[in-house]
Amino acid sequence: MPLHIIREDITRMPVDAIVAAGSARPGTPAPTGGVNGSIHKKAGAGLLTALRRLGGIRAGGATLTEGYDLPCRYVIHTAGPKWQGGSHGEERQLRACYASALALAARKQLASIAFPLISSGKYGYPKAEALRVAVSAIRGFLRDHDMTVYLVVYDKEAFLAGSALVADVTQFIDQHYVDERYVPRSRREEDWAFERFAGAEEADRTEESDALCMEACSATEVKTAPVEEAPAPCMPKMMASAPAPGAVPPGLARRLHQLDEGFADMLLRLIDERGMKDSVCYRRANVDRKLFSKIKNVPGYTPKKSTAAAFCVALELPLAETEELLARAGYALSRANMFDVILEYFISKGCYDVDAINQVLFVYDQPLLGSNVG
């Protein structure tokens, strides 16, 4: 059900179906360039023969053939529009390409499908616009269907085309990202480090005292006596009062019974407090229904950080609550982590569009929100 944006060769995708954008009507030459040409080349001659037998495709339509020598089961063929300035119904036709292909995949009960960025090659559709239409059309379909959809791209050009947003994020990163090799300490951190050092010194002195005590005990002559009346050896107080092997110290037992609310419990509570349905939340988070069910029903299950963060975005949590929910899964936000800084940027701007965030994360080669399994 999630939308994955990945950098990959679409002909290598082991999905139920990949989409080829080209009509190949009878009498037209075999496609040779671009993504469509690569698909036909790797599928073998049978793909072109089957498509011509079907009579080609009209713009915005879709038809299906076998995958032949490709790792996918099927190829769904569609014909994207040529860019003519944007005033000749290009967006409507491009949306129809995605809608027709997805509807056909749903009728065939396919679980996964991979798209190229249709019409953004030799047909000249501006890449940023082609990306916007693709994400919007796919997201609209996923609101009512369970299917894993991949948007496969070769490079970052389409994402960098929206340079105003990327430039703004880049500036924020420059101001806030801290190289992990050097993190300047605050006064509080310095105090904490000093206290820890002082505590370590005290522990060393205690160990030294205990060692001397044990040495003295071993040097002391002890008279022979019945076993049951043997005097207890000289031991440090902490060792003498240690619990039996396998026993849980009373203090630790109390703490274990007073654990804070876990990630799943807090997540479900926040969903209820906002009057949101579970399905709305995990769809907004770009998370698969099965994964959400695992988080909800498997005691102690902890999702990946990108998944936990996706729920923070879906619930539109402010930064403080985001940090709290992440902490329940054992994570924290760090200025030494690029993913964290980008997430902080969008939350601080009040932008909770998972697709917009994922496009920027993609540019910086970071994990995408929600779309990773786990």
pLDDT in tens, 82-118: 999 999 999 999 999 999 999 999 999 999 999 999 9
Q: What pLDDT is stored for residue 118 in this prediction?
A: 94
- Residue 249: burial class (beta carbons within 10 Å; 0-12, 13-18, 19+): exposed
Q: What pLDDT is stored for residue 113 in this prediction?
A: 98
59: tokens are: 């713009």
Q: Give the whole-angstrom CA distance, residue 306 versus residue 24.
A: 41
CA dihedral 175, 177, 181, 182 (to 10 degrees): 40
CB 294 within 8 A of CB 301: yes
130: tokens are: 């082609």
Measured between alpha carbons, how far is residue 162 from residues 37, 71, 129, 165 in Å?
28, 33, 9, 6
Instruction: Count Cβ neighbours within 10 Å for each residue of 103-127 and write b for 16 or more, e otherwise.
Output: ebbeeeebebbbbbbbbbbebebeb
Q: Give the whole-angstrom CA distance, residue 164 versus residue 170.
A: 10
CB 282 within 8 A of CB 289: yes
Q: What pLDDT is stored for residue 372 in this prediction?
A: 64
Choose among 103, 90, 108, 110: nearest CA to 138: 103
Measured between alpha carbons, how far is residue 57 from residues 65, 80, 302 in Å?
12, 10, 47
CB 127 within 8 A of CB 120: yes
Edge to edge, what strands does the sheet with 3-7 contain? Answer: 3-7, 148-153, 112-115, 17-21, 74-78, 62-66
Strands 74-78 vs 62-66: parallel, antiparallel or unpaired: antiparallel
The list of the chain residues with pLDDT below 50 reads 180-183, 185, 187-190, 192-194, 213, 217, 220-225, 227, 238
Please give the DSSP secondary-structure letter assigned to residue 104.
H
Q: List pLDDT tens digits, range 249-280.
A: 666 655 555 556 899 999 999 999 999 999 99
Q: What pLDDT is stored for residue 16 in this prediction?
A: 98
**CATH classification of 3-161 is 3.40.1410.10, yes or no?**
no
- Residue 156: burial class (beta carbons within 10 Å; 0-12, 13-18, 19+): middle
Helix, strand, or coil (residue 147): coil
Q: What pLDDT is stored for residue 223 in this prediction?
A: 46
Q: Give the whole-angstrom CA distance, residue 329 versus residue 333.
A: 12
CB 1 within 8 A of CB 289: yes
Q: What pLDDT is stored for residue 159 in this prediction?
A: 65
Alpha helices (H) along the chain: 34-43, 45-53, 90-107, 127-142, 157-160, 163-176, 187-219, 237-240, 250-256, 263-273, 278-284, 289-297, 305-314, 319-328, 338-348, 354-363
Domains of the chain, by residue range, sit at: 3-161, 263-363
How open is the CA angle 267-272-277, to the nearest 5 degrees?
A: 95
Helix (H) or strand (E) holding 143: none
Choose among 79, 123, 121, 74: nearest CA to 100: 79
Taken in order 120, 361, 146, 283, the sign of the CA dihedral is negative
Q: Give the whole-angstrom CA distance, residue 210 versus residue 204.
A: 10
Measured between alpha carbons, how far is residue 14 from residues 104, 108, 160 in Å?
18, 17, 28
